[in-house]
Amino acid sequence: MTNALGIIIIISLFALWNLDLIATLLNLKALDPKLPKEFKGIFTEEKYAESQSYTRVTSKFGIFQSTFNLALTLTFWLIGGFGWLDTLTRGFGYGEIITGICFMGILLLGQTIIGIPFQLYSTFVIEEKFGFNKTTPKTFVVDQIKGLLLMAVIGVPILALILWIFNSIENAWLWAWLAFTVIQLLLTYLAPTYLLPLFNKFEPMEDGELKDEINAVAKKCEFPLTEIHIMDGSKRSTKSNAFFTGFGKNKKIALFDTLIEKHSVKGLVGVLAHEIGHFKCKHIVQRMVVGIIQSAVLFYLIGVVTNPANPVAQTLFEAFSVENVSVYAGLIFFFILFAPVNRVLGLLSNSTSRKHEFEADAYAANAQGTPNHLIDSLKQLSADNLVNLTPHPLPVFLDYSHPPMLKRIEALRKLKL
């Protein structure tokens, strides 16, 4: 059985689930069978109906998955699963660090195994049905293995370091935060060169009109572009995207091969000018600074809930029926406890992100001297990815990191360049 704090956490988790359910149902109700005028000529009536069907199917699947995950978490908790697992891993006879790695590793492995059927259904049933899936069973299995190996090679040492700091050093939260921040920045720098190529191939873009146009807009925007790559996104999906990587004066562009196939040169340059806008408007730096500050607060609170002498920590562990206060279990319990606060922070983060998207759109339109190229690309991306064109305001407020496509296009058309 749990205590008063545990009951409060359970009520909070149900409240969050219920909020998501209401938002999803309102989103489904807001689906308008009439195609918005802005998208005529891009969406056929059949394509528009398909996009709405895709929204319905993915939304219902999301409801089922979130309900299952909540039920599983609460069942494991209320039957004493966390206490049982703590007793099991302590019985191995190792120290706090190895015990913590075993405890969290078993939870992560169990979560991964339970999540695989959902991934399989999403990839090979839903995405396949709507023509998106290009993932083969072999690629799926290899991706899972690579993901687990990366967790073992990178995640385990990081976890071991955090556990060691909290178990060995005064003001542990501060040192753990500093270590985590350095590692996070290092991985951000190394990922494009060493981690992303483990999953996709990156080929240098061949000389031609597109490369010349990209270099021209980068030069016009005083953007230090060093490399342009084509990524084999079609290996897994027909969906399109593009992104920038790199620090300082070494910026790299990666375009999905599916993006190049379906967009005009001017449209592609508009998409890339939008990404350049994020850098020129300092959005990347702002998000990084906010993230670092948030992580400092998180590590401080983790220090509170993992201190055996702190009444809050004792109450929290009692709520989860775990006898011994430990850093490794405290990490898990903290993020369950923190879920409602994290959702509030997510609202602020998404609101800021949507504002940044409008600003980057405006930058791209000014860089090209017209909003039309970016508008054309946004419309094409909507059709290619079967985007919901009429989302309800509540899910937009709760979960959208990007404004709805119609809002973005309306804002672009109102610009005075």
pLDDT over 70 at 249, yes or no: no
Element (H, E) at 1: none
**Average pLDDT, integer, range 373-380:** 94
Residue 263 has a pLDDT of: 83
pLDDT over 80 at 245, yes or no: no
**β-bridge partners, 245:** 252
pLDDT over 90 at 207, yes or no: no
Distance, CA of 177 to CA of 296 (rounded, Å): 6
Distance, CA of 383 to CA of 50 (rounded, Å): 10
Domain residue ranges of the chain, discontinuous segments joined by +: 4-198+286-348
Q: Are 196 and 202 in contact (CB under 8 A)?
A: yes
For the chain, give the number of residues. 417
Residue 32 is among the residues annotated as catalytic for this protein: no
Residue 94 has a pLDDT of: 93
Q: How confident is the model at residue 289 (pLDDT cuts 50, 70, 90)?
A: very high
The mean-pLDDT minimum among 18-22, 229-233, 295-299, 348-352 falls in 229-233
Choosing from 38, 127, 357, 361, the catalytic residue is 361
Q: Cβ contacts of residue 37 below 8 Å, gap of 6+?
A: none
Q: How confident is the model at residue 222 (pLDDT cuts 50, 70, 90)?
A: confident
Q: Give the pLDDT confidence of 111-127 residue by residue, as tens digits.
A: 999 999 999 999 999 99
A 10 A CB-CB count for 133 gives 19
pTM of the model: 0.90
Q: What is the separation of C-alpha 122 from the centre of its chain, rounded to a whole number of angstroms?
A: 17
Record the tokens describing residue 254, joined without a space: 């990666």
Residue matched to tokens 């016009």: 220
Distance, CA of 380 to CA of 259 (rounded, Å): 10
**Average pLDDT, integer, range 212-216:** 89
Q: Indicate the DSSP class of residue 324.
A: S
Q: Cβ contacts of residue 302 below 8 Å, gap of 6+?
A: 166, 173, 176, 330, 331, 334
Choosing from 20, 38, 86, 275, the catalytic residue is 275
Residue 261 is among the residues annotated as catalytic for this protein: no
For the CA atoms of 292, 293, 298, 299, the dihedral, rounded to the nearest 10 degrees, stands at 70
Residue 314 has a pLDDT of: 93
Element (H, E) at 287: helix 283-305
User: Three-state SS for 31?
Assistant: coil
The mean-pLDDT minimum among 60-64, 144-148, 247-251, 403-407 falls in 247-251
Q: Are 356 and 275 in contact (CB under 8 A)?
A: no
| Beta strands per DSSP E along 117-265 | 202-204, 225-231, 242-245, 251-256
First vs last C-alpha separation in the chain: 63
Q: Are 90 and 83 in contact (CB under 8 A)?
A: no
